[in-house]
């Protein structure tokens, strides 16, 4: 059972991270669900629509709509599955990779500007150390 201090810190941290995440997402030009799919394809490579749905924890029908929208925007392409003729794979197009990088750049750019404008050098050093701790917490099983 966590101490009351740890529980209070956890609640404050969760609230602050939620606010920061929402503020960074405010910089988005591409809807969050679409960015998540582009990011998954960038990280993991070509996938079937079913695999993408499982990866994103959505229904296959919902993923089919997202894939359709991304294809209309030429952000992804479809090709035949190499071993199963009934399936196809979707993958990032060059335009999709560029759009994803631009999206990431907008998010990181806003955050970098906020860090420089709002935090002292000492606070920035503390934040750098905290980022390592947050990463460690995020990877705990």
Residue 68 domain flag: yes
22: domain range? 18-138
pTM above 0.85, yes or no: no
pLDDT band at 79 (very low <50, low <70, confident <90, very high): very high
Per-residue pLDDT, averaged over 26-55, amounts to: 92
Per-residue pLDDT, averaged over 117-123, amounts to: 96
Residue 85 domain flag: yes
pLDDT band at 12 (very low <50, low <70, confident <90, very high): very high
Residue from 56, 135, 50 nearest 90 by CA: 50
pLDDT for res 27 = 77
Check residues 32 and 114 and name the one with the higher pLDDT.
Answer: 114
Per-residue pLDDT, averaged over 26-42, amounts to: 89
Q: Which two tokens stand for residue 132?
A: 């390592």
pLDDT for res 21 = 85
What CATH number should be reported for the domain holding residue 70?
1.10.10.10
Residue spans of alpha helices (H) in 1-141? 4-25, 32-44, 49-56, 60-72, 94-118, 121-138
Residue 114 domain flag: yes
Q: Is the pLDDT of residue 125 over 90?
A: yes
Domain count, the chain: 1
pLDDT for res 123 = 96
């Amino acid at each position: 059972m966590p101490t009351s201090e740890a529980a209070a810190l956890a609640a404050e941290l969760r609230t602050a991270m939620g606010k920061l995440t929402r503020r960074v997402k405010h910089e988005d030009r591409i809807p969050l669900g679409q960015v998540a799919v582009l990011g998954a394809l960038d990280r993991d490579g070509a996938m079937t629509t079913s695999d993408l749905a499982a990866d994103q924890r959505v229904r296959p029908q919902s993923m089919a709509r997202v894939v359709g929208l991304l294809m209309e925007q030429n952000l992804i392409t479809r090709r035949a599955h190499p071993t199963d003729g009934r399936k196809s794979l979707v993958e990032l197009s060059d335009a999709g990779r560029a759009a994803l990088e631009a999206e990431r750049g907008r998010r990181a750019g806003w955050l970098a500007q906020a860090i420089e404008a709002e935090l002292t050098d000492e606070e920035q050093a503390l934040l750098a150390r905290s980022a390592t701790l947050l990463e460690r917490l995020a990877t705990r099983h």
